Structure 1
């Protein structure tokens, strides 16, 4: 056959290449300009990389990314979507993707369908669990119900009560669950039926716009209110069967209590609390100084059962079972001992999951571990991006609300970095020539130390954006702390704990708890030592969700892409860092209770006016401002003048902000300040913008910036936003005159700074009780 007959149209990356519109003679003579040739080469190179990224097997890891983006869109909505419409849309996009499976746009159709499915999944779950949320505090409410969970904390205990009867004097309101705090050591047992009286308060809303939404978290746990127990808790006979779920919860809680009781016989204090946290997931009894040192040093991940703990449990059981079976020569030839060891490790990991309470990070860890062990059992490659994708899809399908939780974000970010390290970095790292020097170094563990350090560095860097966003801090010495502590935890603490659990039924567990004690002592010494180093507390000022989303995109591009296109992820991360660092900090912060106002002074630091004390609120404000001062620091009141009628604090330009307690103070401040915060009714002709009780009730906490003699404000609940966990409050009245939120309102003319006569209230503001809702 002739050569012409064998010719075919060109395919691949060059088929659609665009050529410069020059004549054939010019191209043949090589007269195409160099810049044009370079541009064409770059386009062809990018097209080739894009085709490689879209190759077979590359789509699956992007499906959970798109699914999660759909969940994020749900939480960004102003009001609750219609669940059945979202479900129909997801079904339609899914059907379209199936119909387009042989087309070039199939991958795009799948990702769009995954996005719609994520949106519909969380909308359907919110519709299924829909329940009311307490709007106003209620005093002396009679409750009867079953105790579902029990948490031991540093100063108090907490438990969740599933209500069967609720006695209130005014409204016939009914809730399914409430979370109550009680004096330490007096919480009832899980599974018991009790009667009590409680003071209920609404779930805690964000303490500042952009802060973590505790109310949203509680809503998806079916908890409608929090509060305190008043008086004695009276056990009562249950009105009926308690059900399987409650019996299971009571059994697991009893097992955790039994383990803690055995540990308590040998260990005490923080060592006992940490040992219990590592084995049962109950980490609330750790003292505040040690807990802070752990997180500042970068060892806080040890306290939350996640991939590391699950890997250690599964690894210890796997190698122990395999070693025991290998002692029988006949089994090594005729029996798949490796697969049996993997099955035993899977059973141990499942037990550990149930024992630890099955939090989101633990669920992800178990799923990843289960996929790895099942891969061993079926002779397949274990640690891949597909493994991570499957785990993410399962967790997000069962608990879509986990996407906005720090635990999920940090856990999956760290795992993405580690999987990328294993698949991309480790082969190159371990491909060194086998000479005698390398072999001797490996025998001494140099390679293992290097791998551990690299893994700590990668996981730490991957979780940095989320730690900075949620906790306003980073860990500069995290790699050092992990290198010093994790080998001891891996080789001594966790294996001793597992042996203690195995020996506990036989009464020989004490020696293993003492071994754990030695290792935990070392871990605490490392944490406190690293936390005391200069610059160990890396404070980061609060920034918006935009830089966080950009950081997430950058990490995903770095982790999932295989071609040099992955470098675009580094560029996106750089832009996200710059965006976060350039975020302007507010000039004024106003708490939702209207009793706490922070004003930024001329030195750039906050000054606080307060009608009461709320240490948790002030701690959050200072952390979000990257301010290391303690809430008791006297400098927080510098420049603030107070009397019985209220307080004033100066802005950098000399204008005043007032916190008015009495009506006469409001009337006086209307003529002399830039902004008034008060729980009183302002005059109709007030010249200054006013943030009053009605505004705070409808919009919650607010932050303000002063620009050009006006105030721009952002509220926790902006106008038009109405979600089930933060329902919109109807406007009872239109605020007259200056009684607005201050957003865009005129600040009036400049006012000469004046001060009220200082009184003893400056040094010792009155105390106010605050519910334990954190």
Structure 2
């Protein structure tokens, strides 16, 4: 009987899965972009070519096996198409990466060269101009790279197509300084940037012929409009007003940008779904009301269809004008699908719409998957749509005949619930990428979203129209007051106690567990969707229970940060620049000003080296690090190494230096990049795996 019971259990499990998938058959297509994303993400996570081939072959084998054995069942077909999407994701991103020929600079250089400007980006908040240049005259320079020019050194007439001569210090695109920090080298590879740098001295315009074509003309018009708006609206409000109209964020000061991030309002600065929807919605409303003024047109013409068409054209024009960034393209694709659904008389705002938009973006720009922009925008949309597809939400927030005060309260409740859902969805992504997340964003968005959508954007459009006849000044004053309110709210919320949650760099396993649980919860409809909460809770607990690294070593070996008993950082070189300090603080999840390592009670330092002890994992660790360019006597160095558990240096240490556990020197860091060490677990994490085959790693 026991054997029969086990056989019945084995037989019932596939039948139970089949019944679950049959009940969820309408939701199964939503998992196609998830499978595609899983393949793309696997390629980024797996370090070696052999791993990519094995994953690709495994997925193809699963597809063939599902085709041969399970295509008559819903389980088999689902597994088959999921495997196909996974394999396609690996193939897409692999082909995309190897098709790029960046020609990355292999070492820092100082060069004088002639090059053609491809793009000009004004950075008034930094008092600089960013130039993307191509076809430089230097033999060993990459074909395309980016240079920052001090605003005082930038001559008039810098525009796309212009040939300039300049001197600049160039360096390879930097990889993450320590594990968990921002990896610009990966982004630069897909952006086709072979170097970054800063110009110095005079810049001479060699030939001032501007580049012709739609793209340069659009860029020039965008720059002129941004300058015009900033001249009409003073202060930080002007920078945000220019961003809303053109996508140009260069006029926003770092203080304002940080306040927007901490308050959960940073999404207002990225041209995406909110802005595209507002532009299309306002256009449709105006067109519909104007056409309805004529009784004959209202009776004979399909006014909704006409308004949707005009709105679609406006949305496309807005997307092109603001630079066709991936979030904007994603939002435009979604908007076109919504308008198509309106034209067909069908409900358009569904999770299938979101899945279609994700498929389009991943098929054309697979590398965007690992960036925060893609993850934040789609997580927000999925959370909003999934929330409003729930029956209890529909009952609670559906329109009804009631007093205006109750309508207003219901509208405010809807905004709060939507903001809360978005905050919950975005928090793990923000913590993973930025090590911080706003806690009061749901409350701030109740005010900021309606203010921006229904007041600022329409007023800004009206002001631009009135500027044609010189009457826009009063409306720009209203825009300035409204955006001043948004900025004031952002600074108030960001400075509130406990406004921001800070955590050290999150492990990729914990992040993927939370994401998988969130997708399971949002994409299914039947009760088994609640199992997603188990994965979310497990991932969240693993984040809070995970140990924090005790020692950080940057990729050049010059900077060492130690987590003191208070949780704050102490630096080996206290004169480290702001960039290094900010990067280490952000990765460690602390905002406190880093102190000098020499000030720790258990540290002894001189001008050339430091030694200190730390109690972790039930034992004492002794660490020794060099901190100057002077070499220590060989016998003294050998003695220090023998007495230490860990030795760190930015130079190549001699073979006679044999610490008890770990030697981190120039030779090791050349293979691993930056290092973080968790002494409680005696574990080491590195920026890259030695011998890694990703193309942006091979050029480091």
TM-score by length of 2: 0.90
The verdict on how the C-alpha distance between 1:630 and 1:504 changes in structure 2, with shifts beyond 3 A counting, is: farther
Q: Distance in 1 between matches of 2:44 and 2:343?
A: 40
Matched, 1:178 2:145: yes
Q: Matched residue of 1:154: which SS? A: helix
Name the residue aligned to 2:192.
Answer: 222
The equivalences for 1:80-91 within 5 A come to 80=49
Count of residue pairs the alignment pairs up: 683
Name the residue aligned to 2:394.
Answer: 427
Residue pair 1:148, 1:161 contacting (<8 A) in 2 also = yes
Name the residue aligned to 1:767.
Answer: none
Matched, 1:664 2:632: yes
Matched, 1:594 2:557: yes
Q: Distance in 2 between matches of 1:628 and 1:297?
A: 16
Name the residue aligned to 2:41.
Answer: 72
Matched, 1:487 2:450: yes
Indicate the structure (1 or 2) with the bigger Cα radius of gyration: 1
From 541, 548, 559, the counterpart of 1:578: 541
The verdict on how the C-alpha distance between 1:186 and 1:493 changes in structure 2, with shifts beyond 3 A counting, is: farther
Q: Matched residue of 2:697: which SS? A: coil
Q: Deviations over 1:656-692 (max 9, x none)?
A: 4323432216445324433222233433322324321
What do you get for the CA RMSD once the two structures are aligned?
3.2
Q: Distance in 2 between matches of 1:575 and 1:354?
A: 43
* Deviation of the 1:140 alpha carbon: 2.1
Q: Please say which of residues 134-143 and 367-376 is displaced more in the overlay.
A: 134-143
TM-score by length of 1: 0.82
* Deviation of the 1:20 alpha carbon: 9.9
Q: Distance in 2 between matches of 1:482 and 1:553?
A: 26
Name the residue aligned to 2:487.
Answer: 524
From 272, 275, 282, the counterpart of 1:306: 272
Name the residue aligned to 1:736.
Answer: none
* Deviation of the 1:354 alpha carbon: 1.3
The verdict on how the C-alpha distance between 1:704 and 1:634 changes in structure 2, with shifts beyond 3 A counting, is: closer
Matched, 1:411 2:374: no
Residue pair 1:667, 1:682 contacting (<8 A) in 2 also = no
Q: Distance in 2 between matches of 1:155 and 1:429?
A: 47
Q: Deviations over 1:208-259 (max 9, x none)?
A: 11333111001001101111113222222379x95x6xx3332122212221
Q: Matched residue of 2:29: which SS? A: coil
Q: Matched residue of 1:586: which SS? A: coil
Residue pair 2:626, 2:648 contacting (<8 A) in 1 also = yes
Name the residue aligned to 1:52.
Answer: 23
Name the residue aligned to 2:532.
Answer: 569
From 225, 241, 245, the counterpart of 1:279: 245
Name the residue aligned to 2:32.
Answer: 63
Q: Please say which of residues 579-588 and 504-513 is displaced more in the overlay.
A: 504-513
Residue pair 1:148, 1:162 contacting (<8 A) in 2 also = yes
* Deviation of the 1:85 alpha carbon: 11
Matched, 1:539 2:529: no
Residue pair 2:671, 2:691 contacting (<8 A) in 1 also = no
The verdict on how the C-alpha distance between 1:141 and 1:97 changes in structure 2, with shifts beyond 3 A counting, is: farther
The equivalences for 1:299-378 within 5 A come to 299-378=265-344
Q: Distance in 2 between matches of 1:189 and 1:582?
A: 52
* Deviation of the 1:529 alpha carbon: 1.2
Q: Distance in 1 between matches of 2:475 and 2:517?
A: 44
* Deviation of the 1:410 alpha carbon: 0.6
From 662, 665, 675, the counterpart of 1:692: 665
Q: Matched residue of 2:583: which SS? A: helix
Residue pair 1:141, 1:199 contacting (<8 A) in 2 also = no
Q: Distance in 1 between matches of 2:68 and 2:14?
A: 31
Q: Distance in 2 between matches of 1:440 and 1:270?
A: 35
Matched, 1:678 2:649: yes
The verdict on how the C-alpha distance between 1:99 and 1:528 changes in structure 2, with shifts beyond 3 A counting, is: same
Matched, 1:705 2:671: no
Q: Distance in 1 between matches of 2:604 and 2:395?
A: 64
Residue pair 2:63, 2:79 contacting (<8 A) in 1 also = no
Matched, 1:126 2:97: yes
Structure 1 unaligned spans of 5+: 1-17, 23-35, 730-774
Q: Please say which of residues 567-576 and 680-689 is displaced more in the overlay.
A: 680-689
Q: Matched residue of 2:632: which SS? A: helix
Name the residue aligned to 2:588.
Answer: 625
Structure 2 unaligned spans of 5+: none
* Deviation of the 1:468 alpha carbon: 0.7
